[in-house]
Amino acid sequence: MSIVGHRQSFYGQIASNRRKSILLVLIVFLLMAGIGLAIGLAMGATVESGVVGIVVAIVVAMVITSISYFSGDSLVLAASGAKEVSPENAPQLMNVVNELSIAAGIPPPKVYLINDTAPNAFATGRDPKHASVAITTGLLQKLDREELQGVMAHELAHVRNLDIRFTLLVGALVGSIVLLTDFFLRFSFYGGMSGGRSRGRDSGGGGAAAILFIIALALAIVAPFFARLVQLAVNREREYLADASSVELTRNPYGLQRALAKIAGDTEVLEVANRATQHLYIVNPIKRFEERSKGLMSTHPSVVERINRLRALSGEAPLAPGDHEALAQLG
């Protein structure tokens, strides 16, 4: 007798993933503001200095965001060796992208090919009007049309859901936390706080100033690590969201299931991928890292978990986490 899993709606999955993503971004923002406040209070020991610390943290985040917002996509495409294609070069690919763009209600993005036999794909661009999708030649060779539709729908879902902008914001907040804490630790190490602490003792607030300094120092050490954990969690939630949105566009969970299994099971190495760009791809291209990593430190959810969420949309029984044979058969 076959076992049937609990059937879910892709609308329910989409709503849940969006709520979790917003909550995670709020956590990163509060962490950044808290770091700014703690550093400001530690350096000035006044409410005004704490407010200045928050303002400085926000300004740093805005500068980093602006730089990434206007130049990030071109840098990623250039680093990946991607070349723009035309309908004449890849008619089936362009046809799939155009039909799914209509379904998503967005302008067709620019389409790029990466000359690599390892199957994978990513999307980039600050909004639907400035979006690009890049896929490897291996993806075109190894996936059938239904699987290609699942992958392209996933990437166009990233574009429609503004995931690139969303993760860029989180990256800017995390980068701001790292810069602020690094500045504070260096400033403290070279004795920059001694004058402030002496002034605090002279004015009778030495004990409070010392406590604030210790709190700020502790936050400066642990905050970047926790901010990175939240950033990775945001990336994983947006992958789940794009998977569910892909089914919304294609009304077919099977193509993406098989595509994920094929990409994850492929043993070829994507030469152009690196630690800075791995989070963009539909499946982590640095597979050895993904296999070793624990859930909290992974840029992507596990492929089996993603497939199981897709199977839940059609009421199918989930795969067991260690069932590599079932995963291989699916691909």
Q: Among 17-21, 313-317, 320-324, which range has the highest average pLDDT?
A: 313-317
* Residue 5 covered by a domain: no
Backbone angles phi, psi at 248, to 5 degrees: -60, -40
Could you report the per-residue pLDDT of 235-273, keeping only the tens digit for each? 888 899 899 999 999 999 999 999 999 998 898 889 888
Could you report the per-residue pLDDT of 60-98, keeping only the tens digit for each? 877 877 776 666 667 788 888 899 998 888 899 999 999
Q: With pLDDT > 90 as the criterion, what percentage of the chain qualifies?
A: 27
User: Do 157 and 247 share a domain, yes or no?
Assistant: yes
* Residue 296 covered by a domain: yes
Looking at the DSSP assignment, which residues form a beta bridge with residue 134? 112, 122
The pLDDT value given to residue 214: 80
Q: Which of 113, 123, 134 is nearest to 161 (CA)?
A: 123
User: Do 243 and 300 share a domain, yes or no?
Assistant: yes
Separation of alpha carbons 85 and 91, rounded Å = 10
DSSP reduced 3-state for 109: coil
User: Do 24 and 157 share a domain, yes or no?
Assistant: no
Range of the domain at 67: 10-71+168-233
Q: How confident is the model at residue 223 (pLDDT cuts 50, 70, 90)?
A: confident
The last residue of a domain, from among 191, 215, 233? 233
User: Do 241 and 325 share a domain, yes or no?
Assistant: yes
Name which residue leads in pLDDT, 246 or 36.
Answer: 246
User: Do 210 and 257 share a domain, yes or no?
Assistant: no
Average the pLDDT over each of 70-79, 115-124, 221-230 and give the range with the smallest value: 70-79
Name which residue leads in pLDDT, 6 or 188.
Answer: 188
Could you report the per-residue pLDDT of 155-174, keeping only the tens digit for each? 999 999 888 877 777 877 78
The pLDDT value given to residue 118: 94
User: Do 159 and 250 share a domain, yes or no?
Assistant: yes
Angle between the 253-265 and 303-313 helix axes, to the nearest 10 degrees?
A: 170
The pLDDT value given to residue 64: 75
User: Is the separation of the CB atoms in 121 and 138 below 8 Å?
Assistant: no
User: Do 206 and 312 share a domain, yes or no?
Assistant: no
User: Do 258 and 299 share a domain, yes or no?
Assistant: yes
The last residue of a domain, from among 182, 202, 233? 233
* Residue 94 covered by a domain: yes
Rounded to 10 degrees, the C-alpha dihedral 297/302/308/313 comes to: 70
Q: For residue 283, what is the domain's CATH number?
A: 3.30.2010.10
Q: Which of 47, 114, 144 is nearest to 271 (CA)?
A: 114
* Residue 1 covered by a domain: no
* Residue 2 covered by a domain: no
Pairing of strands 121-124, 110-114: unpaired
DSSP reduced 3-state for 286: coil
Q: Tell me how far the alpha carbon of residue 142 is from its chain's centroid.
A: 26
User: Do 145 and 278 share a domain, yes or no?
Assistant: yes
The last residue of a domain, from among 216, 233, 250? 233
Q: How confident is the model at residue 201 (pLDDT cuts 50, 70, 90)?
A: very low
User: Do 98 and 246 share a domain, yes or no?
Assistant: yes
User: Do 228 and 250 share a domain, yes or no?
Assistant: no
User: Do 39 and 20 share a domain, yes or no?
Assistant: yes
* Residue 284 covered by a domain: yes
Number of domains in the chain: 2
- Residues recognised as catalytic: 155
Q: 311: which 2 tokens?
A: 């199977």
